[in-house]
Structure 1
Amino acid sequence: MTKEKVKMSTGRKVLIGLIVVFVVLALAVYVGGIFFFKTHFLPGSKINGVDCSFKTEKQTQEYMREEVSVYTLAINERDEGREKLEAEEIGLTYESDDSIGKILKKQNTAAWVLSLPKGKSYQLDTGVTYDQEKLQKKLKSLNCFQEENITAPQDASIQETDAGFEIVPEVLGNQLDEERTYEAVQKAVENQEQELNLEEAGCYMEPAVYQDDKTLKKHQKQMNKLTDVVITYDFADRTETVDKDVIKNWLVLDKKGNYTLDEAKVAEYVNQLGYDYDTFGCTREFVTALGETIRVKGGDYGWAIDQDKETKALIKAIKSGETQVREPVYAFKGWDRSTNDIGDTYVEISLKDQRMWMYKDGQLIVDTPVVTGNHSKGWDTPAGVYAVDAKKSPAVLTGEDYASDVTFWLPINGNVGIHDADWREEFGGDLYLTEGSHGCINTPYDQAEIIYNNIEIGAPVVVY
């Protein structure tokens, strides 16, 4: 064997020997660790936040006892307030039991090497005791519980200003919920925590409504929209104004939680308008189309606000958000507010002459024969000054023994009204005496169409 081969063989033997020695030592350390950690806590072990690494059960018990005796809980409050609670103030002591021993026995000692990088934390529900009355007394003595230092929370709200309805931000305050605070402190003490942030623990009483609350913002928007409108009633020589100062008293929440208008209060307002401004039918002097001056009485013509419709119309006008000048919806409406409230747009019917005229803006646009109520059967068309109650096209007129289809229907007094009558070939003359209608004014189709297209609800119809 050459010298070189001898040297190589010797080097291998040395290397192998070193490896063997290292393995034996590593095995010895590992086995030793297994036996050591049967009675000692693994590296990184913490119990209730106390580091117990490499300590025996007895050492851990003693160490925890010492830690508990000097325990201090820092209490961080809102607005940078800070107070503390010490062990002796609440009679805090450590009481040993077999819990630590049980943890020690459950350690996986065979895997002690794996615990080196991370360790393990344990939480025991037992181990410390304290006097609950002393704890409660201590809490009540803290500055944060003194009445002079407490500001109660306030909800964000909506308040009226000159500019409209604005959101006033909430006030957080610093009022603590005693029960929640006690529970949070109790938990911190039992877990041996070093600090407790009362705000993070949810101990403060909070406003129920914040300025960014969606419902609050919705209500503000709704209130401003409803009140940011001016409705002016024009009564010729007088006006009435419905603005924010009036509307704000009508605001109410509906069943869905939305601000709307209290219909009953709006109705009260409209009722007062009627009381102040309504007129009703009266006997009038009237100059006929043939130039004769007569007196006409009866009928339902005059100025009278339709309470229900105008209430709804006013609500609709306000909700539209459009500032406007308007007149009320009238159940009975004089054509203008002048002395001659019939005005210059009206329908005139002569029962004697069986003739009907219509004037629009003072111009004659219809002059036609008609057939009125059957005189022989007592169905005479009633005389008086009426207003067109409605317009409907088409319509079906019904009675006890008839149902008639018409294209143009203008009721003026219940079931009495002006309408076309395509079943008639002749109009005028003495037809009404025995072949008249049930009370309506039968009109040629083309003339009825002209009247229908040129007349408005509330226009006067003079029947004499």
Structure 2
Amino acid sequence: MAKNKEKAGAGRTIVILLVVLLLLLTAGAYGYGVYYFSSHFLPGSMVNGFNCSYMASEDTEDLLNQRVGAYVLAVETMKNGQEAISAQDVGLSYVSTGIVKQLIKDQDRFTWFLAFNQDKNYDISESLSYNVELMGQAVDNLKCMQPENVVQPVDAQIQDTGDTFEIIPEVMGNALDRTKTEEVISAAMLRGKTSVNLENESCYRKPSVYSTDEQLKANCEKMNQLVKVIITYDFADRTETVDRTLIKNWFGYDEDGNVILDENLVRQYVADLGLKYDTMGQTRTFLTYDNRQVEIKGGDYGWVIDQDEEVKALIAAIESGVTQVREPVYLYSGYSRGTNDIGSTYVEIDLTNQRLVFYQKGTPIVDTPIVSGNPDIEGCGTPTGCYALDAKESPAVLTGEDYEANVTYWMPFAGNVGIHDASWRSEFGGNLYLWEGSHGCVNVPYDKAAEIYANIEVGMPVVVYE
């Protein structure tokens, strides 16, 4: 029994000794690992893409120096193209800054036994340097940078084919953003990457507008709608047509990029209409009652397009999509819209022969001698020109600085100058106006004034000449 107890005690002692020995060995191995990895990289350590596991700082720097010297970056371009830039091309070199030692010092060496399956990447690009000028030259020397190999991107756009507007698809091109390309390549080389894909790095310039762009499609559709409209201007014996040939040149864009009719371009067209068809103040060749041709200058009769309002109206008419015949918006209107805007109904006053003839639809209905203003007295001569009758008033009192006259029929055409009866006169015509002329008005016999008044309308032309 005693011998069995001794044997059991000896066995326990051996086990204890083995456990202690194992613990001592484990502690020694752990301590050695802590000590070793105080100056060496842990397993799975990558520096600038190079495996530096178990390496001391000096060995790591030697490796970096060797690898940097032989380093080549594969530059992948569009459509599986590939070029290369070497460390020598750009003067790439490793510069010891002490960062490798610092990385080893900062790693968690006390848990080294957990690092065997780690994947630790260190980026010490600041320890690499390159020649900026050489880098620029290397990038410029790439085949993908040569002008003969470059196609610039082109935006999708709307094009007039002659019959319709169509969207021409974008051109992707292969032009690189020079600045970004150099930045991407430089960064890749500093990080020791083996390759860089310029397309994946978004280095290629791209169109800003694609054929699938909803606004582009909407603009194209609107253009085709607007040019379908035909606007015909009616100028009596003449017409002007606004159709596709004009409208297509008036397109512009608002601040949001939507197609509009450019008001300035439409305004230019309306201004041209005014130059062609406005007649107020224009010199006219007039055929007199005795078949003489005289030039009529001045006066306030005629047509004037209201350009501001007509620009708005024309834009609205086109945008309505309705083909139509229309007249412009007028600021001033004449009595006849034909080329001869005086027409066939008018009052003709011949100052030299002191005669008034009133035509109605080409037929003289009043032909009478007159007494006009005295041209030898300042401010009393009857003004010449083509005027529009301003008003009709019956009876009326005419007043001036030194006179007051009661008349039955008053028909002003040039301010305070007009046609009226003159009951105080018994004679008309001849040269009476040279010594018994009026203050500027056209005096006519009472019965003639009544007949004129009964047939004349406000706005009718009154042609006065010498």
Aligning the two structures, in what range does the TM-score lie when normalised by the shorter sequence? 0.5 to 0.7
Q: Which residue of 1 aligns with 2:247?
A: 247
**Partners of 1:300 and 1:332 within 8 A in 2:** no
Matched, 1:375 2:396: yes
1:187-336 correspondence to structure 2 within 5 Å? 187-211=187-211, 216=216, 219-220=219-220, 223-234=223-234, 239-253=239-253, 258-273=258-273, 305-330=305-330, 331-332=332-333
User: Structure 2: which amino acid aligns with 1:100?
Assistant: V
Aligned to 1:249, what secondary structure does the other structure show?
Answer: coil
Map of 1:392 onto structure 2:
none
> Which residue identity lines up with residue 316 of structure 1 in the other structure?
A
Distance 2:7 2:327 in 1: 124
Contact conserved, 1:143 with 1:149, CA < 8 A, in 2? yes
Query: Is residue 395–residue 410 contact of structure 2 (8 Å, CA) maintained in 1?
Result: no
1:332 partner letter: S
Contact 2:76 2:195 in 1 (8 A): yes
The answer on whether the counterparts of 2:335 and 2:459 sit within 8 Å (CA) in structure 1 is no
Q: Is the 8 A contact 1:42 1:119 kept in 2?
A: no
2:51 matched residue in structure 1: 51
Residues 33 and 163 from structure 1, CA distance in 2 versus in 1: closer, same or farther, beyond 3 angstroms?
A: farther
Instruction: Sort the Cα spacing of 1:381 and 1:73 in 2 relative to 1 into closer, same or farther, 3 A.
Output: farther
For residues 208 and 196 of structure 2, the distance between their equivalents in structure 1, rounded to whole angstroms, comes to 24
2: CA distance between counterparts of 1:93 and 1:300? 89
Distance 1:135 1:267, change over 3 A: closer
Larger radius of gyration: 2
Shift of 1:227: 3.1
Q: Which residue of 2 is the match for residue 164 of structure 1? A: 164
Q: 2:453 maps to what in 1?
A: none
Find the counterpart in structure 1 of residue 367 from structure 2: none
Conserved in 2, the CA contact under 8 Å of 1:159 and 1:165? yes
Shift of 1:18: 7.8
Alignment partners' CA distance in 1, 2:169 and 2:161: 14
For the 8 Å contact 2:41–2:55, the answer to whether it is kept is yes
Partner of 1:388: none
Partner residue, 1:186: 186
Task: Write the mapping of 1:66-215 to structure 2, written as runs, cut at 5 A.
Answer: 66-211=66-211
Q: CA deviation at 1:317?
A: 0.8
- The Cα shift of 1:128 comes to 3.4
Separation in structure 2 between the aligned mates of residue 230 and residue 135 of structure 1, nearest angstrom: 62
**8 Å CA contact 2:393, 2:411 repeated in 1:** no
Q: Give the deviation of 1:229 after TM superposition.
A: 2.3
Deviation at 1:61, TM superposition (A): 2.1
> 1:192 is paired with a residue of what secondary structure?
coil
Whole-Å Cα distance in 2 between the matches of residues 6 and 322 of structure 1?
122
Structure-2 residue corresponding to 1:367: none
SS of match in other structure, 1:185: helix
Gaps of at least 5 residues in structure 1 are 284-298, 342-370, 386-458
Residues 133/314 of structure 1: CA separation in 2 closer, same or farther (3 Å cut):
closer
CA distance in 1, matches of 2:26, 2:325: 100
Distance verdict in 2 for CA 1:239–1:30, change over 3 Å = same
Amino acid at match of 2:174: N
Q: Aligned with 2:248: secondary structure?
A: helix
Q: CA deviation at 1:109?
A: 0.9
CA offset at residue 336 of structure 1? Answer: 9.8
The match for 2:42 is 42
| Displacement after TM superposition at 1:100 (Å) | 0.9
The alignment's TM-score, normalised by the length of structure 2, stands at 0.58
CA offset at residue 68 of structure 1? 2.0
What CA distance in whole angstroms lies between the structure 1 residues aligned with 2:279 and 2:197?
74
Alignment deviations for residues 19-46 of structure 1 (CA, whole Å, 9 cap, x no partner):
7676555444433321221121112212
Q: Which amino acid aligns with 1:63?
A: L
Superposition deviation, residue 383 in structure 1: 5.1
User: 2:393 touches 2:410 (CA, 8 Å); kept in 1?
Assistant: no
Counterparts of 2:224 and 2:15, CA distance in 1: 92
Per-residue CA distance 1:99-123 (angstroms, 9 max, x = gap) = 2112111222112234344342221
Residue by residue, what CA displacement relative to the aligned partner does 1:135-184 show, whole Å, maximum 9, x if unpaired?
44433332112232122233333322235333333323223344433332
- After alignment, is 238-247 or 310-319 more displaced? 238-247
Counterpart of 2:333, as a letter, is F
CA separation in 1, counterparts of 2:114 and 2:407?
Answer: 112
Counterpart of 1:390 in structure 2 is none
Contact 1:335–1:460 (CA under 8 A) maintained in structure 2: no
Q: Distance in 1 between matches of 2:408 and 2:10?
A: 146
Taking structure 1 as the reference length, the TM-score comes to: 0.59
With 131-140 and 371-380 compared, the bigger mean Cα shift is at 371-380
Q: How far is 1:65 from its partner?
A: 2.6
Higher mean C-alpha deviation, range 207-216 or range 89-98: 207-216
Please, what is the CA RMSD of the aligned residues? 4.8
Please tell me whether the aligned partners of residues 334 and 459 of structure 2 are also in contact (alpha carbons under 8 angstroms): no
What is the number of equivalent residue pairs in this alignment?
344
Please report how far the alpha carbon of residue 7 of structure 1 lies from its aligned counterpart in structure 2 after TM superposition. Answer: 12
